[in-house]
Amino acid sequence: MPTVGVEFAKVSYTLPGGADGHTGRSLLHEVSLQLDAGTTTALLGRSGAGKTTLLRMVNDLVSPTSGEVRVGGKATRDYETVPLRRSIGYVIQETGLFPHMTAERNAGMALELAGRPKAEIATRVREVLGLAGLDYDEFRERYPWQLSGGQRQRVGLARALATDPMVLLMDEPFGALDPLTRAEMQTMLRGLLEKVGKTVLLVTHDLDEALYLAQRVVFLSEGKVVADLPPEEIVGSDNAYVRDYVSAVHRAVSA
Amino acid sequence: MMSFLHSYGWEVGRLTFEHLWLTASAMLLAVGVGLPLGILLTRRRRLARPVIGFANVMQTVPSLALFGLLLPVPWLGENAARLAIVALTGYALLPILRNTYVGIGNVDPELIDVANALGMSNIQRLFKVELPLAASVILAGLRTATVTCVGVATIAAAIGAGGLGELIFRGVASVDNGLVLAGAIPAALLALGADAILGWLEGRLSVRRS
């Protein structure tokens, strides 16, 4: 029986209503989901399906309107916000690096915030940049504008890993990269995840990415889970939503 | 020219110093009020409109009228330099306030998001992310404020606060263009110098993004 890393228990989210008394739009509706510790779960669905909102609930950037999210068995609302967030790595698309800081400072920011000594930060940053496939001595002093899109994303990943968090949240991490760089990054990430064993929640549009990286794929549509299955059962699934998604992606190939 | 410098050189120097002092004191006050207030407005956005609106109105009051209006105010009216500094602060406030508010408000929301996700406290986010990224915009406001201040400070002579305006007013009254220029040229140089120094600093602090 695998331990539960992150659990969503009947989580709903409704946007705050307008001043005119209208109730806001409902983005998530009673989503229940358990992410086993040490595994990767991909969250798939169209834009606006609620994927990002669900992901942002884990580090309490968004609080559920009802239901609760548990991290390591404890509800997020029972955590102090800052320690909770520091124990969770967060990687987003493209612009997540601070433009006025070097790669080293960006990658070590979480440690700097925790008040760790400089020497310790440097050692750890060397380690995590290495894990993400960047040479510390070559890249440490570079600013984000001096890095390629893929390199920037590697620094972003290193930053998320620096505190050795139990959970890693990745929101379209490679969405802005060209297909070749993206494939490289996926290979690197897969190797890395096998090594570090984190509970990962990966939001993506990219079915191939989900199949390649995740042990489990969850489809979200209009704020509800419409399918939840291991990657090998996706192609050939008789779930209507999954079938549509697969045929939309593979149209060019099968035509 | 030489005889002019001989008879007025010392006075020009003294008044330039006075002018600088008026401007610098007003700028210090304006930064001391405008910067924290601008930051506060980014945290209480509801207040931004009325507060910036007030500073805006302040800016539109003609300087001569403002000096005159403040004259009967008890503590202020007692000392001309004090009054001038307070009035100048009023003029310098808007650009600093507005640029602080806008500069911080324009920081990429994704970076704010990341700062929060990294577990930054409000203060950490302010000093590590928001202020450094807004620095060049804030400095541009400071630059506008300084140049305005140097200019408006010449009017302060009208209420006897001193500064280079004194030469200008005296020159106008005695139809002596040399005297007018003796006040106007150093004032212009002060403005240009301040503009150049702050412009250079602004360039240094701007963050390269691509």
Tell me which amino acid residue B127 is.
F
A7 phi/psi in degrees, rounded to 5: -135, 130
pLDDT value at residue B2: 63
Q: Are the beta carbons of B108 and A109 separated by less than 8 Å? A: no
DSSP secondary structure string, B5-39? HHHHHHHHHHHHHHHHHHHHHHHHHHHHHHHHHHH
Q: Where are the beta strands (DSSP E) in chain A?
A: 4-14, 26-36, 40-44, 66-71, 74-75, 88-92, 167-171, 199-204, 216-221, 224-229
Structural domain spans, chain A: 1-14+27-87+169-255, 91-164
Closest alpha carbon within chain B to A100: B207
- Give mean pLDDT, residues B132-154: 94
| Tokens encoding B13 | 């120097």
The answer as to whether B82 is a domain residue is yes
In eight-state DSSP terms, residue A59 is T
The answer as to whether B151 is a domain residue is yes
The answer as to whether B210 is a domain residue is no
CA angle A50, A56, A21 (to 5 degrees): 60
pTM of the model: 0.86
Backbone Cα Rg of chain A: 19
The answer as to whether B186 is a domain residue is yes
**Which residues are CB-contacts of A63 (< 8 A; sequence separation ≥ 6)?**
A57, A76, A77
pLDDT tens by residue, B182-199 = 999 999 999 999 999 999
Q: Are the beta carbons of A113 and B132 separated by less than 8 Å? A: no
Substitution target from A61, A63, A94, A109 for chain B, most B beta carbons within 10 A: A109
Q: Out of B55-59, B101-105, B139-143, B146-150, which region has the weakest mean confidence (pLDDT)?
A: B55-59
Contact A107, A162 (CB under 8 A): yes
Indicate the CATH number for domain A1-14+27-87+169-255.
3.40.50.300
Select the residue of A82, A86, A92 nearest B114 (Cβ to Cβ).
A92
| Tokens encoding A226 | 């419409």
User: Which residues of chain A have a CB within 8 Å of the CB of B117?
Assistant: 59, 61, 85, 88, 90
Q: Are the beta carbons of A85 and B114 separated by less than 8 Å? A: no
| Tokens encoding A167 | 């959970």
* CA–CA min distance B90, chain A (Å): 33
| Structural domain for B118, as ranges | 2-205
Q: What ipTM was predicted for this assembly? A: 0.86
Domain count, chain B: 1
Q: What CATH number does residue B200 fall under?
A: 1.10.3720.10
* pLDDT grade for A22, boundaries at 50, 70 and 90: low
Contact A58, A88 (CB under 8 A): yes
Contact A35, A4 (CB under 8 A): yes
User: Which residues of chain B have a CB within 8 Å of the CB of A71?
Assistant: none
* CA–CA min distance B144, chain A (Å): 24
